[in-house]
Chain A
Amino acid sequence: AQKITQTQPGMFVQEKEAVTLDCTYDTSDQSYGLFWYKQPSSGEMIFLIYQGSYDEQNATEGRYSLNFQKARKSANLVISASQLGDSAMYFCAMKGGKLIFGQGTELSVKP
């Protein structure tokens, strides 16, 4: 069975600093995909970044980067230079046959 775990219910970060949101996963599949989504208070789910299990390099998208450590089964999201608009819920997800989500981390950026 596949499982995604986010152990940080809430995080605070000072504006302009970097923050790491943790995500660990468990799967017996050799091929899988890992996603991060952002959910602001409006409720929409915004796709941020993707990492394939066979990708040798860590994925990056602007201020977002994914620290993928396959042996440790972790896929942490790093947000650099935090902005006030980054305050939101962040979900890690894994795609096997279907997309399953972690519990989410609520990030609050302080001015």
Chain B
Amino acid sequence: GAVVSQHPSWVICKSGTSVKIECRSLDFQATTMFWYRQFPKQSLMLMATSNEGSKATYEQGVEKDKFLINHASLTLSTLTVTSAHPEDSSFYICSARRPGGYTDTQYFGPGTRLTVL
């Protein structure tokens, strides 16, 4: 299967600081990447859809000024949590859509666990 990496895998930061999470598709070009948030024992909640070279599309209720998404190349999307607060602590997962093929499957990164103190 396709490989998607995320960095860092975990991060602890102080309240008020900003944190950047990178998502890379390692063996295919992804015109579309997705960012999800997951709380313990819950499902994945789609935050935004990131398209290469254009602005991200945010889901309803997601603050676009707080969760900045940049998809600068066909293999890299970044999520920046600005002025992080304890309630932003969560597991953030990205995925990349592999174009073409029958299934048009999304492949997921390993996730980033964010803890805001």
Contact = CB atoms under 8 A, between A and B. Distances in A.
A57 interface: no
A101 interface: yes
A103 interface: yes
Given A44-B111, A45-B95, A98-B34, A103 B105 contact: no
Given A101-B44, A103-B43, A43 B106 contact: no
Interface in B38-95: 41-44, 46, 49, 91, 93, 95
A50 interface: yes
Give the bracket for the number of chain B residues in contact with chain A: 20 to 34
B56 to A, nearest CB: 13
Most buried by A among B34, B42, B44, B109: B44
Contacts of B95: 45, 99
Given A44-B111, A45-B93, A33 B103 contact: yes
Interface in B98-115: 102-111, 113
Given A42-B110, A50-B105, A102 B43 contact: yes
A98 B60 CA distance: 14
Contacts of A98: 34, 46, 49
B110 A44 contact: yes
A43 B46 contact: no
A37 B103 contact: no
B43 A91 contact: yes
Given A43-B110, A52-B102, 4 more contacts: A43-B113, A44-B108, A50-B105, A99-B95
Interface of B: 1, 34, 41-44, 46, 49, 91, 93, 95, 102-111, 113
Interface of A: 33, 35, 37, 42-47, 50, 52, 91, 95, 98-104, 106
18 contacts: A35-B105, A37-B108, A43-B91, A43-B93, A44-B109, A44-B111, A45-B93, A47-B106, A47-B108, A50-B103, A50-B105, A91-B43, A98-B46, A98-B49, A99-B106, A103-B43, A104-B41, A106-B41
